[in-house]
Chain A
Amino acid sequence: MPINALILLMMLVLISAAFYVGRSRALRSSGRGSVSLHSLPNYHGYFVALWTGVPALLLMAAMAVFGPSISESVIEMRLNQAAAPLAADLDAQLAGDSLIQSAQRTLDSSADVNAATQARAAIQSRRTAIADSIADTARESGASGLALAGFEYANLPPERRGLFINDARALAFNGQPSEITPAIEATASAFRPVDRIVRFGGAVLAILLAMAGLAWSRSRVKAGFRARNRVEAAFMGFLMFCSGIAILTTIGIVASLLFESLRFFEAINWRLDQFLFGTQWSPQTAIRAEQVGQTGAFGAVPLFAGTFMITIIAILVAGPIGLFAAIYLSEYAGKRTRKIVKPVMEILAGIPTVVYGFFALLTVGPAIRAAAQFVGFESAVTQSALSAGLVMGVMIIPFVSSLSDDVINAVPQTLRDGAYAMGATKSETVKQVILPAALPGIVGAFLLAVSRAVGETMIVVMAAGQGANLTANPLESVTTITVQIVMLLTGDQEFDSAKTLSAFALGLVLFIFTLALNVIALRVVQRYREKYE
């Protein structure tokens, strides 16, 4: 870190120096030739500073992000290099080994699953034994630590290699490795110089780049030079780039979800029908059975049903409460009440969802269970669709109420006047004139609230349970799309299994659904606005 800090400091110095260089050169060139400058001297300064700083800083950022992976791949290369003789030896011995050859023959010829598994195990253990003996002889004959480490590394199963490198890195830089073996120690000591070179190299390159930028841009500063336009163009470029990030984000979301989902669909043999309409969700068993596609363990209907039920409950709570609150606040309440009550209700939207989850788990859930048991439902559980739905309903009250409030306020006063002038009471005006007029907007508000509820995660993770029950009983625990995404992607996971990939397919469903709801809702609200403008 200190070296980075040092480089950063040097960059700062360079950049400010560049500014003064540009500025003073501009001043001098105008002073000498009595040609007036096109741009203010400061702009020349900015111009030079930009050329000095931006490329170098970009390089530094890239090094910060990709430096570790560069040094890792260098290390990997060196490990492979050092272990090459040993690996060649291993290959030769493997090819010549009769045991392995016979096992391989069984594997190729036999259709029997058990025999194949046995053969595979035999090959594996034999291979390990040979590798061990090679390593032992090499150690005795005084092979370098790095070679041994490389050999060990090469023989690790692919999923453990990352951990090996991480441990070595941790050991090299005062971290906490999960284990320390001679191989890891050897790798760690190889790590340090490589890392230093990568860092120093990056730093030196950055400084050189900065100097080059300074020199080149300085040479361009002349009286007639349009520095301001250049600087402004750079600035505009920056602004446009920033605007592009929103699009990049969307592209990133769509691409990553689509890409991983396609891989998932491939893993289930393109049985999309089973994913969308299957009623059995048990991704864990799918892994064990090794038959992802056939078992139909990825039927997402229980998740859709759970999501649907919780959303319905939430809307049943938030809809009436939010709408009535909005009506009261916009039509009945005085200014003072409105000024106090509105922000208080908004607090409900500001409370983090984990807090709601905790509330549902420890207060609402047990209360519902007690009540249900009191009424006679002995089997009631704490984590139920009802408790998650109720609490989520509370969370989205402010969405419904503030969106409805906007919509109701957009109903023109003349309509209200018309109704009052006919002798309508307030409630009659609201029910017969304002609500019908505001209906599209209110529908839009509800749709937005639904989209919110569908995508909500923490409340359901904590309060709805995890059982993929296909049930219509709100007192049972259900699971939702978001819960399953969390379940599949937290804890131990291998990134490429169908199980983890299925989370992305669920994410895609979620994304498409909420996006569609949102687009429709915004359309509806927009239409409605236009009508009264």
Chain B
Amino acid sequence: MADSGTRSSTVYHDAAKTLQGKITLDGVNVYYGPKQAIHDVSMVIPDRSVTAFIGPSGCGKSTILRTINRMNETIDIARTEGSIRIDGDEVNSKAVDPVILRARVGMVFQKPNPFPNSIYDNVAYGPRIHGLASGKRDLDAIVETSLKKAGLWDEVADRLDQPGTGLSGGQQQRLVIARAIAVSPEVILMDEPCSALDPIATAKIEELIDELRENYCIVIVTHSMAQAARVSQMTAFFHMGDLVEYGPTEDIFTNPHEPRTQDYITGRFG
């Protein structure tokens, strides 16, 4: 922990070279009540690419992810310090409305959580509440493109009015992704999106993530080293609330600087 200061200044050296920064975290600390869950994390997450957060369970991956769209605010005892900027706009300031922020930053959760109404209504939910569609036709178009982007259109086109909870787990997860991209967010946060899915569904989602990368800044939390290696361009390794190492995925997996990273990747703990 003593070296966290020096490390955080060195972690993102390569990132800035090839990719443009989208999200900047600066000295972020998160507390749950008296307990500190995140210690002084600083990093730059690039746009139009996939950044993977890895680390042992309980190290704070979800926590840091949830600071980016301020979902931590829904937890009474959570408290965030430090600066988080998206395109230079401070996220954590009082002036920023979490509602607007969350329209810019979509999120997909570990367990697919379609709302208890139809497939159509699920996807149309965001555009409706935010008033993004000017009419029924417009809304139909948004729903269709979103479902297409999420690679679900062909499977559900003929049963849009059926409950979203009636889909398979993998379909549900893609539905939820479609729901997230229906409001054209800039950032999509994914918290272990494949952990409840079988390998085939997982492959589909991974494919989808790879496609979405062209237009979005994607941050994904995963417990699968392989998945991180497959889908991400950048990887951050967290341990006990510290950002241990952050860099291009290739570097992290082939040539980690930190022994802890090395140990985790090779499966010696975690």
Chains A and B in contact, CB within 8 Å: yes
Q: What residues of chain A have their CB less than 8 Å away from a CB belonging to chain B?
A: 334-335, 412, 414-425, 428, 432-433, 436-437
Q: Using an 8 Å CB-CB cutoff, how does the interface string of B175-190 with A read, 1 for contact, 0 for none?
A: 0100110010000010
Interface centre among A416, A419, A423, A424 (most CB of B within 10 A): A423
The answer on a CB contact under 8 Å between A412 and B113 is yes
What are the residues of chain B within 8 A of A424 when measuring CB–CB? Answer: 99, 125, 129
CA distance A75 to B57 in the complex (A): 85
A329–chain B nearest beta-carbon distance, Å: 14
The answer on a CB contact under 8 Å between B71 and A418 is no
Q: Report 21 cross-chain contacts, Cβ distance below 8 Å, ordered by A residue.
A: A412-B113, A414-B109, A414-B113, A415-B115, A418-B109, A418-B176, A421-B69, A421-B71, A421-B107, A422-B103, A422-B106, A422-B180, A423-B101, A423-B126, A423-B130, A424-B99, A424-B125, A424-B129, A428-B129, A432-B115, A433-B115
A420 with B71: in contact, given A334-B76, A436-B115, A436-B117 (CB under 8 Å)?
A: yes
The answer on a CB contact under 8 Å between B111 and A425 is no
When A and B form their complex, what is the total count of cross-chain residue pairs whose Cβ atoms lie within 8 Å? 69
The answer on a CB contact under 8 Å between A437 and B113 is no
| Further 11 A-B residue pairs, CB within 8 A, beyond A418-B114, A418-B115, A422-B102 | A334-B76, A414-B111, A415-B116, A417-B74, A418-B113, A419-B125, A420-B71, A422-B106, A423-B99, A423-B129, A436-B117
What are the residues of chain A within 8 A of B98 when measuring CB–CB? Answer: 423
Asked whether B100 is an interface residue with its Cβ less than 8 Å from the other chain, the reply is yes
Q: What residues of chain B have their CB less than 8 Å away from a CB belonging to chain A?
A: 69, 71, 74, 76, 98-103, 106-107, 109, 111, 113-117, 125-126, 129-130, 176, 179-180, 183, 189
What are the residues of chain B within 8 A of A428 when measuring CB–CB? Answer: 129
The answer on a CB contact under 8 Å between A423 and B74 is no
Closest to A426 in B: B74
The answer on a CB contact under 8 Å between A420 and B109 is no
CA distance A165 to B18 in the complex (A): 109
The answer on a CB contact under 8 Å between B106 and A417 is no
CA distance A420 to B71 in the complex (A): 7
Interface centre among B76, B98, B109 (most CB of A within 10 A): B109
What are the residues of chain B within 8 A of A421 when measuring CB–CB? Answer: 69, 71, 102, 106-107, 109, 180, 189
Closest to B100 in A: A423
What are the residues of chain B within 8 A of A422 when measuring CB–CB? Answer: 102-103, 106, 125-126, 129, 179-180, 183
CA distance A418 to B183 in the complex (A): 14
What are the residues of chain B within 8 A of A415 when measuring CB–CB? Answer: 113, 115-116
CA distance A432 to B114 in the complex (A): 12
What are the residues of chain B within 8 A of A420 when measuring CB–CB? Answer: 71, 74, 102
CA distance A50 to B147 in the complex (A): 75
Closest to B108 in A: A421
CA distance A424 to B113 in the complex (A): 15
The answer on a CB contact under 8 Å between B125 and A436 is no
What are the residues of chain A within 8 A of B114 when measuring CB–CB? Answer: 418
CA distance A422 to B117 in the complex (A): 16
CA distance A521 to B100 in the complex (A): 41
What are the residues of chain A within 8 A of B103 when measuring CB–CB? Answer: 422-423
Interface centre among B116, B130, B183 (most CB of A within 10 A): B116
Closest to A437 in B: B116
Q: Specify which of A334, A419, A423, A425 is in contact with B115 (CB 8 Å cutoff).
A: A419
CA distance A421 to B65 in the complex (A): 12
CA distance A421 to B130 in the complex (A): 13
What are the residues of chain A within 8 A of B111 when measuring CB–CB? Answer: 414
Interface centre among B99, B106, B113 (most CB of A within 10 A): B113
A427–chain B nearest beta-carbon distance, Å: 10
CA distance A415 to B189 in the complex (A): 16
What are the residues of chain A within 8 A of B117 when measuring CB–CB? Answer: 436
